């Protein structure tokens, strides 16, 4: 993959892994557009990375996605890379938790429907570019679910399966499809208490970028490589171990 002179949209680029991706891609001479819901997070991101272009958008809202794509098509007709990174998670008890149906709809809309909608809406633009690339961000939990998350594992497993289908269906198209599966990373995602095994966003994005350069289709970052193997050989052990963390 060519790592410079791209025009890139990173959803959820105002925080954590998306923000670190924005930093690294800007340093390498790319045009980087980030979107997220919070104007304040976007303002902070712009303070940290003055060259970044920001756009306020709730990707769980289909009309907002359509408006963002119309804006991108007008303002950035050379957009050649979509990184579907934004996601949310609820740690809850499915039966006893409050507003669980509302949380279900929020998570499915943000983590699965929105990336698929954005791919569909942006495909005509991406398909016109020479070096077009769709990157979907998932997690090692697509292999083994963590039981504290009632919906998150399923939303990412759905995106994992969709990404495999899309890669196959686009095999003769100029648009490359990559999935990046992250392990636990110390970002605001963990509300100030990341698990002890969490790696830094710098380390996670460094590995991602090296493997993008090498042209890998499925990038298993850090311990996701081990989880993948364990999930194939000793799934019950992997399930117990993962859920004991
Ligand atoms: N951190 C980890 O341990 C870990 C592990 C494996 C995979 N991942 C994956 O890595 C990705 C990034 O996670 P992170 O750790 O960087 O989390 P984060 O720091 O919480 O960042 C999430 C980003 O998504 C944005 N976002 C959430 N809902 C949105 C919506 N409806 N519309 C637009 N933007 C939205 C947030 O901004 P607003 O709040 O302003 O909308 C924020 O910029 C996610 O896909 C996550 O599943 C993370």
Per-residue model confidence (pLDDT) at position 183:
98
Question: pLDDT band at residue 117, thresholds of 50, 70 and 90?
Answer: very high
Distance, in Å, from the CA atom of 21 to the CA atom of 28, rounded to the nearest integer, reads 11
Domains detected in the chain: 7-244 (3.40.50.720)
Is 1 a residue whose pLDDT tops 90?
A: no
Segments in the chain forming alpha helices (H): 16-27, 39-48, 62-75, 100-108, 114-126, 152-169, 201-213, 224-233, 235-244
Per-residue model confidence (pLDDT) at position 3:
85
- Over residues 53-84, the pLDDT tens digits come to 999 999 999 999 999 999 999 999 999 999 99
- Degrees to nearest 5, angle at CA 189 with 185 and 192: 90
The count of C-alpha atoms lying within 13 angstroms of the C-alpha of 162, restricted to the half-sphere facing its C-beta, is 21
Per-residue model confidence (pLDDT) at position 24:
98
- Over residues 138-197, the pLDDT tens digits come to 999 999 999 999 999 999 999 999 999 999 999 999 999 999 999 999 999 999 999 999
What average pLDDT does this structure show over 25-34? 98
CB-CB contact of 37 with 54 (8 Å): no
- Over residues 7-21, the pLDDT tens digits come to 999 999 999 999 999
Query: Measured over all CA atoms, what is the biggest interatomic distance in the chain, rounded to whole angstroms?
Result: 52
Is 245 a residue whose pLDDT tops 90?
A: no
Distance, in Å, from the CA atom of 85 to the CA atom of 242, rounded to the nearest integer, reads 23
- Over residues 206-221, the pLDDT tens digits come to 999 999 999 999 999 9
Distance, in Å, from the CA atom of 152 to the CA atom of 145, rounded to the nearest integer, reads 9
Question: pLDDT band at residue 2, thresholds of 50, 70 and 90?
Answer: confident
Ligand 1: atom nearest CA of 86 is: 24
Query: CA end-to-end span of the chain, whole Å?
Result: 35
Catalytic status, residue 152: yes
The average confidence (pLDDT) of the chain is 97
Per-residue model confidence (pLDDT) at position 198:
97
**To the nearest 10°, the Cα dihedral for 80, 137, 194, 152?**
140
C-alpha 234 to ligand 1 mean position (Å): 30
C-alpha 174 to ligand 1 mean position (Å): 28
Which residue's CA lies nearest to atom 36 of ligand 1? 12
C-alpha 233 to ligand 1 mean position (Å): 31
Buried b vs exposed e over 109-142: b needs ≥16 C-beta within 10 Å?
bbbbbbbbbbbebbbebbeebeebbbbbbbbbbb
């Amino acid at each position: 993959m060519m790592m410079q002179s791209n025009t890139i949209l990173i959803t959820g680029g105002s925080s954590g892994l998306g923000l670190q991706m924005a930093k690294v891609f800007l340093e390498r001479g790319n045009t980087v557009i980030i979107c997220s819901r919070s104007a304040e997070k976007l303002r902070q991101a712009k303070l940290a990375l003055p060259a970044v272009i920001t756009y306020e958008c709730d990707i769980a809202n289909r009309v907002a996605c359509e408006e963002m794509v119309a804006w991108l098509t007008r303002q950035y007709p050379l957009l050649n890379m979509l990184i579907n990174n934004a996601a949310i998670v609820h740690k809850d008890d499915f039966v006893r938790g409050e507003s669980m149906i509302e949380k279900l709809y929020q998570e499915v809309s943000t983590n699965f429907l929105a990336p698929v909608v954005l791919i569909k809406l942006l495909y005509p633009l991406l398909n016109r570019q020479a070096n077009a690339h769709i990157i979907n961000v998932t997690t090692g939990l697509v292999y083994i679910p963590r039981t504290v998350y009632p919906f998150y594992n399923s939303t990412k497993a759905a995106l994992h399966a969709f990404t495999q289908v899309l890669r196959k269906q686009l095999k003769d198209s100029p648009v490359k499809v990559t999935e990046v599966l992250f392990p636990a990373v110390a970002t605001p995602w963990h509300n100030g208490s990341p698990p002890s095994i969490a790696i830094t966003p710098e380390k996670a994005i460094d590995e991602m970028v090296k493997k993008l350069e090498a042209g890998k289709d499925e990038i298993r970052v850090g311990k996701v490589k081990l989880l993948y193997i364990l999930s194939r050989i000793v799934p019950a052990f992997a399930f117990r171990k993962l859920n004991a963390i």
